[in-house]
Amino acid sequence: MIFLDIQMPKLMGHDFFRSLRNPPKVIFTTAYKEYAVEAFELEATDYLLKPITMARLMKAINKLEGISVPDVKTEKIIDNESFVYLRAERKMIKVGYGDIIYIESMKDYVKVVRESDKPIFVKQSISSLEELLPSHLFLRVHRSYIVSLNKITAVTNHDIEIGNTEIPIGRLYAQQLNKSMQGRTEE
């Protein structure tokens, strides 16, 4: 796997990539959107426009790992095999989707509460983390909370219960939660 800039000093990135006998997976990085079509014709895994945000970089890396949005029939199998890398404690920590119980925003950090281990604290916004997570498994239910839909044990008009933990439902998020819950009961 390589990250490859489009405009390099003596050679264009896509020309360099074409010259490789056994090209690896590639993510092109550039400040120029006009080369995107050509990059995808070369079967690039992703195309990142500068400046690159951490959320967008992580999404591209997860794409490299073969994570895709599964269809409903395979969701249960893939839950335990899919993951996201999160930067915490000066390292990238691999966190399985099936291990995440809920995520709570705490000013400049988010707390990721997991089943298998202690919570981890990630320095990023809850919105950027929400972009990394598959929407069929996770739902934002409050400006400060994202929950794993598979971990919900009960729902009231005002909160969600996950085991003994009560998580408030934000007024702006209630309608989306209701749609999501109805979709799950019909399956």
**For residue 19, what is the domain's CATH number?**
3.40.50.2300
- Encoding tokens for residue 91? 């390292």
Give 139-166 pLDDT, tens digit per residue.
999 999 999 999 999 998 889 999 899 9
pLDDT of residue 100: 95
In a domain, 178, yes or no: yes
| Confidence (pLDDT) at 81 | 52
Q: Which residue has the tokens 């000093």?
A: 9
- Domain tally, the chain: 2
The answer to whether residues 83 and 161 belong to one domain is yes
Nearest to 133, CA basis, from 98, 81, 108, 97:
97
pLDDT, position 187: 46
User: Mean pLDDT of successive 10-residue segments in the chain (187 residues)?
Assistant: 85 87 88 85 87 82 60 36 83 90 93 93 91 89 94 90 93 84 59
Give the C-alpha separation, 101 to 97, whole Å.
9
CA neighbor of 42 nearest in space, from 65, 19, 69, 62: 19
Do 91 and 40 share a structural domain?
no
Q: Reduce the DSSP state of residue 40 to 3 states and report it.
A: helix
pTM beyond cutoff 0.85: no
3-state DSSP helix/strand/coil percent for the chain, to nearest 5? Answer: 35, 35, 35
Q: Which domain holds residue 37?
A: 2-52
- For residue 161, being part of any structural domain is answered with yes
Ordered DSSP codes for 108-119 = TEEEEEESSS--
